[in-house]
Structure 1
Amino acid sequence: MALPTWIAVDWGTTHLRAYAIGPEGVLADAASEDGMGQLARDGYEPALLRLISPWLAPGRVTEVVACGMVGSRQGWFEAPYRTVPCTPLDSASLVTVPTRDARLKLRLVPGLRQDSPADVMRGEETQIAGALAVLPGFDGVFCLPGTHSKWVQVSAGEVVSFQTAMTGELFSLLSSQSVLRHGMQGDGWDEQSFRNALSDAISRPERLAARLFALRAEGLIAGLSAASARARLSGLLIGIELAAARPYWLGQSVALIGAEGLCATYARALAAQGIAARQLPAAACTIAGLSRARTPKVSA
């Protein structure tokens, strides 16, 4: 493989992903489970080198641009938040990180903060910048489903406001650590159960706690299947997220950024509300965003 021009890194809480970039695009990619949650501060550089050493050469400095939790207060080196409203990225605000290995020139992308109501993001700002490269002139809302789903209002190339929902984390906790776990073992999916629960949660979100325990009760006395229980739990949680985010998506152009399967689920949920959402792959948006971050914007 030819040596890369630069290396793009997406470093989250649970995973580390790197892409060797050449003049024609991605030359190679690699991933590990060395996320922020598994590393002490002195473990970041070794973790990065374990992944990208094959792409480095003696006596040659390679530029690395990274986004995500690597720049958090608990990460390798803190990259202070930028305050909205602002563009998702600003190449002048990238933070240079001292490294022991002279082959590395590492810079981190800052996250974004919203003072009222208080909210923060790290990593999503890079995907938003990449999405704007794919959809120039887009005015509307980006939804980034995941552990902590983001709803982001964008206008004139700036992030105006955003809102976070802990939907993915709640699903994980409830399905694996709560009393509901007993009825969630197994695979499968019941689409009608998902749609019914979604509609119920959007129309009456205040009933969530009662609807959740009903999953346990129906498993005990009515033989509710694991496929139906998991689909209903997903529908309930996405439903209350959509109810809370209604001011973001109602009457707006919406684009989804994330994993294909999860984005498809959100697309179906939005379609039930009359919203046709576009879907963009997370990795491609991340790479496009990091490419924008490393290149200063030239004024016309």
Structure 2
Amino acid sequence: MGRTPLRPDWIALDWGTTHVRAWAMTAGGDVLANTHSASGMGTLGADGYAPALAALTEEWELPQPCPVLACGMVGARQGWVDAGYAAVPTAPLSVPPVRVPDAPEQWNVRIVPGLSQTRPPDVMRGEETQIAGFLSLNPKFDGTLCLPGSHTKWVQISAGEVVSFQTSMTGEFYAALSKHTVLRHSIGTGWDDTAFTEAVSDGLSRPEALAARAFQIRADALLNGMDEATAAARLSGLLIGSELAHARPYWLGMPVAIIGAPQLAARYAAALEAQGVSPIIARADACTLAGLKAAYAAWKE
């Protein structure tokens, strides 16, 4: 006997620059299955999204047309369709999802718009769905959300709205410095908690010295034999500490929740705890799915 085919009512998609993840969903919001691929926005041309979606869901028996709700870089200017932005202050899902007009007729694809801020200028795409998901799970939360990643977001939340936010390219800076500068000769795998905590304090108290402190990592490795794990932790700590210095108005004296992948969220939590902050930690994937479910429920009303 063959397997009973999987019959979702709709598809939830988290479509980023390097990867895409799909959830097969029931009308009531239950997950039947999930899958993923490396067909991120960065690898696709305008005509590549529909085939990538078909390949991702080929083992599922889909309704015709199949409702698909997506968030992330699929809605960027270089994505399937430019989904635009909603200006803050606003609720994270205040603007309805944008229809993809050239999707094949078997798909009814909508993309969640991002959020924008005029002064200082800033944008987010994908994080708005994580924020919406977190707020659906924690509806009384007022305070600051930290969403660490390549571009870490600090977000002020009040009465269910995003009031303001700021982005730091900390993760991208770490990748660039550790792989494409002289520091690549000193930084490797492994980790040193003590070195990280000390470097966070250094970066927070002297953010203007970041460039000099970064080169000292290389010099310390050459002259004193500092190991690769300590070097990695020190660079990360300096960058996150400098970020915390700039983001101080967001976290000082405020309730803070971190939405992120477990390892990176733990590093930010350790950095904040050293400053007397006790953050809540929420998983990014759980918040993304909760946000897509909230967006789909609003779409179908």
Please say if 1:230 is aligned against 2:235: no
- Of residues 53, 57, 63, the one that matches 1:52 is 57
Q: How many angstroms does 1:61 deviate by?
A: 2.1
The question of whether the paired residues in 2 share the 8 Å contact of 1:41 and 1:75 is answered with: yes
Could you tell me how far apart the structure 2 residues matched to 1:297 and 1:48 are? 20
Matches for 1:1-300 after TM superposition, within 5 Å: 1-22=5-26, 23=28, 25-57=30-62, 60-90=64-94, 93-185=96-188, 187-296=189-298
The alignment yields a C-alpha RMSD, in angstroms, of 1.6
The question of whether the paired residues in 2 share the 8 Å contact of 1:212 and 1:233 is answered with: yes
Query: Helix, strand or coil for the counterpart of 1:273?
Result: coil
TM-score (norm 1): 0.95
User: Which runs of no fewer than 5 residues in structure 1 stay unpaired?
Assistant: none
Q: How many angstroms does 1:102 deviate by?
A: 2.6
Q: How many angstroms does 1:32 deviate by?
A: 1.0
Could you tell me how far apart the structure 1 residues matched to 2:41 and 2:182 are? 29
Query: Helix, strand or coil for the counterpart of 2:105?
Result: coil
TM-score (norm 2): 0.95
| Stretch deviating more after TM superposition (133-142 or 114-123) | 133-142
The amino acid across from 2:292 in the alignment is L
Could you tell me how far apart the structure 2 residues matched to 1:79 and 1:24 are? 24
Q: How many angstroms does 1:44 deviate by?
A: 1.1
The amino acid across from 1:200 in the alignment is D
Could you tell me how far apart the structure 2 residues matched to 1:180 and 1:100 are? 45
The amino acid across from 1:153 in the alignment is Q
Could you tell me how far apart the structure 1 residues matched to 2:299 and 2:70 are? 18
Query: Helix, strand or coil for the counterpart of 2:18?
Result: coil
The amino acid across from 1:71 in the alignment is G
Could you tell me how far apart the structure 2 residues matched to 1:122 and 1:98 are? 20
Q: Deviations over 1:150-195 (max 9, x none)?
A: 000010110000000001001111111111000113x211111101
Could you tell me how far apart the structure 1 residues matched to 2:29 and 2:183 are? 49
The amino acid across from 1:114 in the alignment is Q
The question of whether the paired residues in 2 share the 8 Å contact of 1:111 and 1:121 is answered with: yes
- Moved >3 Å (runs of 4+): none
Query: Helix, strand or coil for the counterpart of 1:53?
Result: coil
Could you tell me how far apart the structure 1 residues matched to 2:60 and 2:101 are? 20
Query: Percent identity at matched positions?
Result: 56
The amino acid across from 1:122 in the alignment is R
1:26–1:298 CA distance, 2 compared to 1 (3 A): closer
The question of whether the paired residues in 1 share the 8 Å contact of 2:98 and 2:113 is answered with: yes
Could you tell me how far apart the structure 2 residues matched to 1:116 and 1:52 are? 41
User: Which runs of no fewer than 5 residues in structure 2 stay unpaired?
Assistant: none
Q: Deviations over 1:15-37 (max 9, x none)?
A: 11111112362111111111111
Query: Helix, strand or coil for the counterpart of 1:295?
Result: helix
Could you tell me how far apart the structure 1 residues matched to 2:300 and 2:108 are? 23
The amino acid across from 2:119 in the alignment is S
Count of aligned positions: 296
Q: How many angstroms does 1:56 deviate by?
A: 3.5
The amino acid across from 1:67 in the alignment is C
